[in-house]
Amino acid sequence: MSNILKNLAIIMDGNGRWATSKGYKRTVGHEKGSEVIRDISIYCSRHEEIESVTFYAFSTENWKRPKYEVDFLMKLLEKYLKNELLTYQEYNIRFKAIGNIEEFSKPLQDMIKHIEDETKNNTALTQVMALNYGSRYEIVDALNKLISQGKEEINEKDISNALQTPYSDIDLLIRTSGEKRISNFLLWQISYAELYFTDTLWPDFTSHELESIIYQFKQRTRKFGGLK
């Protein structure tokens, strides 16, 4: 029996390198990368198994980048969400943000909450955007939430339910650009995920390559700590 792929996660890496290799500013790579998010989300919404796709869009460490690049990313995110509402509605995609968005500008926070509200009843796919996200922070935040609720003993199910993500486990994690690390992304949720690293830079990533990766995922043996 082949593996079932319900929850997919993607570390989108390589926008800057893609742009500089072509003589463009790094920001051009981010713009191109946002188009790929749309294409991959549409593909996932049409896939018979995939229920969610989580994109690592902006980490808690990304604030260390040059101010002009961070400012551009904030404006690009707001523009992307504004333009994507029609796409979400057309393809029946629910949008959900995870991470500490309270550090964003008030207009951007309002835009994120508006898109979440407008798409909350869509059912073909949940597109999760990790924004100002760090997995260690998410886990600590979940534990503090449980403590504040008066929990004296905490089990795995409690933690899973207290996390921001609308699922408990990731089935397949993909990272583009040839880097082979997790970068503080969904550490709890990928405990038994299959990992796939591709040399393709994110702006060159296509649904055809994703389809090929999913095929390879189907051929793997997932043991979940057992013998078979």
CA separation for the pair 144, 99 (Å, rounded): 15
Q: List the catalytic residue out of 3, 7, 13, 204.
A: 13
Tokens of 82: 């504004």
Are 15 and 73 a contacting pair, CB within 8 Å? Answer: no
DSSP 16-28: HHHHHHTT--HHH
In the residue annotation, 13 being an active-site residue is answered as: yes
| Sequence-separated (6 or more) residues with CB below 8 Å from residue 178 | 14, 197, 198, 199
- How crowded is residue 225: how many other Cβ atoms within 10 Å of its Cβ? 6
In the residue annotation, 71 being an active-site residue is answered as: no
CA separation for the pair 212, 216 (Å, rounded): 6
Which residue bears the tokens 């397949």? Answer: 172
Q: What are phi and psi of 27, to 5 degrees?
A: -60, -30
The single-letter DSSP state of residue 191 is: T
Q: List the catalytic residue out of 3, 7, 39, 62.
A: 62
Residue numbers annotated as active site: 13, 62
